[in-house]
Structure 1
Amino acid sequence: MSRQCCVLGRRPARGHTIRRKGKPKKEGGIGTHVTAQTPRIFFSNLRQKRLFVPELGRWVSLRLSARGLKTLSKNGVYATLRKAGLLQ
């Protein structure tokens, strides 16, 4: 199973962590400098949820991001799943 939100389609994003070295100017130093950029992956906050859809009368298992779960609670389960193309 992919690391993807089934409602919003959020996937892992690539980026960098920045290493800084030195003493900040406001602490009496000459300033901090970037010494390295290490590649990393930012993962979505995914949750495995089992939701009841009253219009269908059954339970549905979904892999959602935290933002996708907020979208479901705001717009309703059935309407959001129809818009995402998960229901016919």
Structure 2
Amino acid sequence: MSRVCQLTGKKANNAYAISHSHRRTKKLQQVNLQWKRVWWPEGKRWVRLRLSTKAIKTLERKGLSAFAKEAGLDLNKL
């Protein structure tokens, strides 16, 4: 599975690693992804999602159904 948040679509960012001599080499800044089991009240079951930590915080505020609808994610297929 690719390293992409299932709700926000966040993925790796291209950046530079800068040494002490200011030599720059390219690197990837990966998203902090976590597997999270979330209770889905409408479906009366647990849903396992790969979420960024930012999405987990937003999920607690918005709720799963609203956030999934906003992201265009069909929870029945998970």
Q: By the TM > 0.5 criterion, same fold?
A: yes
Aligned-pair RMSD on alpha carbons? 1.2
In structure 2, stretches of 5+ residues that fail to align are: none
Q: What whole-Å deviation, never above 9, does each CA across 1:30-49 have from its counterpart, x for those lacking one? A: xxxx2x10111000010001
Aligned counterparts of 1:46 and 1:37: Cα–Cα separation in 2: 26
CA deviations on 1:59-82 (whole Å, 9 max, x unpaired) are 111000000101100101111111
What does residue 6 of structure 1 align with?
Answer: 6
Stretches of structure 1 lacking an aligned partner (at least 5 in a row): 22-33
Helix, strand or coil at the partner of 2:68: helix
Query: Larger Rg: 1 or 2?
Result: 1
Once the 2 structures are TM-superposed, how far is the Cα of residue 20 of structure 1 from its aligned partner? 2.0
Aligned residues: 75
Q: Runs of 4+ in structure 1 displaced over 6 angstroms?
A: none
TM-score (norm 2): 0.88
Percent of pairs with identical residues: 37
